[in-house]
Amino acid sequence: MTRTLGIRCGAAVFIGAAALQLAACGTSTIKPEGAAQSVVDLVSEKTDFKPTDVTCPDGIEAKVGQEFDCKFTGPDGNYTAHMKVLKVEGEQVLFDINTKRVD
């Protein structure tokens, strides 16, 4: 059974400045801590819960259309935040974030 945390964020969320890092090959990658903060900000804004253990993968290229999942523990179990890059502008990345409970 899958359910949402009450968040279907069609409104995107900007992650903070310095959200990108330069990889060895010269491509920009998303800083995991920046993406994690976006999840914390969204969940905290839309619910009464503030996740403290959000983990996002490292080495994700910052390009439009890129998708990846972050994980966190909600008040009643484990959740996934599906992240989709909508826009990359300078050092900021615009995400569409959708959360759901996972079994």
**Model pLDDT, residue 21:** 55
Amino acid (one-letter) located at 81: A
Is there a domain that residue 97 lies in? yes
Confirm whether 86 is domain-assigned. yes
Structural domain includes residue 29: yes
Rounded Cα–Cα distance for residues 96 and 103 (Å): 23
What pLDDT was estimated at residue 27?
73
User: Is 49 within a domain?
Assistant: yes
pLDDT beyond 70 at 15: no
What's the sign of the alpha-carbon dihedral 83, 84, 89, 91? positive
> Is 44 inside a domain boundary?
yes
The pTM (predicted TM-score) of the whole model is 0.78
Any domain includes 75 = yes
Residue 52: give the domain boundaries: 8-102
- C-beta separation of 14 from 97 below 8 A: no
Asked if residue 2 belongs to a domain, the reply is no
Measure the CA angle with vertex 52, ends 48 and 94; round to 5°.
Answer: 80
Instruction: Please tell me the total count of domains within the chain.
Output: 1
Question: How long a stretch of residues is the chain?
Answer: 103
Residue 83 inside a domain? The answer is: yes
Q: Render pLDDT for 36-78 as a digit per residue (tens, 0 to 9).
A: 999 999 999 999 899 999 999 999 999 999 999 999 999 899 9
